[in-house]
Amino acid sequence: MSSYLSSVHVARWYRLVRTIGVGAFGNVHECEVVLSNGLAASRRLAVKILRDSNDAENVGRFAREANLLRGLKHPNLIRAMEINLSHNPPYFVMELMQEVLSTRLERMMSQDTVYRAKPALESVLLPLCKAVAHLHFRNIYHRDIKPANIFFDSKDNPILGDFGICNERRLGSAQLTWCGLGTPWYTAPETLRSGIASPQSDIFSLGIVLHEMLTGSRPCAIGGTPVVLGLLCSIPEAAMVSSMTCSLK
């Protein structure tokens, strides 16, 4: 176990095993459940821990994500099993996922293969659309739908996770692009320009994910520098749509 993991204490009944994800303001770790006799149970879980509890903005976002998860019940949305915001550092516990879509796509590309249309639509995209519709019905916008935030459980069901910037209806363009909030390659161009999220912007992101599943690449392979992203934000929407339409042909 790394010195970092051994230095982070959650609760006495959880033992951190390894880091499995690093987000903008919280890290996700695989953990063992420690029984009363000190032995570890066979089942392992995932725990998300706030990285900097001294940053009031990050604490607020972490609490908002945890409270959102508390109220969500859908088979294709990540579920919080325990939330402890009064602990230092704050954390919440989730089911441990088996695989991430981004990792699966990388493996498939290394084998020179991609998803076929029917399995991609029926087994992955349709369940995710239902999950996103569930969010939108409650006026919740995910804002960061991408393969790295789509997981698969033990039954290979797709699960949408990472609600770190959910419900932030408006963010500055800097936050959306080169400061780590939102992922420009999957973000609708009008949201990149205005910072305003909508149901349509989540649907756009789902479309980019589907394109990547079917082709192995994103339709808009742009660079990640502030200069390039700034140029992208300045492109008229009609021109952006025309460009993406051409790439899909």
| CA pair distance 136, 189, nearest whole angstrom | 20
Per-residue pLDDT reduced to its tens digit, 102-121: 999 999 999 999 999 999 99
Quick one: tokens of 29?
């770790």
When pLDDT is cut at 50, 70 and 90, the band that residue 239 belongs to is very low
Residues 6+ apart with CB under 8 A from 49: 8, 10, 26, 27, 28, 29, 89, 90, 91
First to last CA, the chain: 49
What is residue 13's predicted lDDT score, i.e. its pLDDT?
Answer: 81
Residue 144 falls in the annotated catalytic set: yes
CB count in 10 Å sphere of residue 24: 16
* CATH fold for domain 3-95: Phosphorylase Kinase; domain 1 (3.30.200)
The more confident residue out of 190 and 206 is 206
| CA pair distance 27, 92, nearest whole angstrom | 11
The catalytic position among 52, 144, 156, 202 is 144
Domain at 99-248, CATH class? mainly alpha
CATH topology identical between 3-95 and 99-248: no
Segments making up each domain of the chain, as ranges: 3-95, 99-248
What is residue 61's predicted lDDT score, i.e. its pLDDT?
Answer: 85
Whether the pLDDT of residue 223 is over 60: the answer is: no
Answer positive or negative: Cα dihedral of 67, 71, 73, 74. Answer: negative
Per-residue pLDDT reduced to its tens digit, 31-44: 988 877 767 777 88
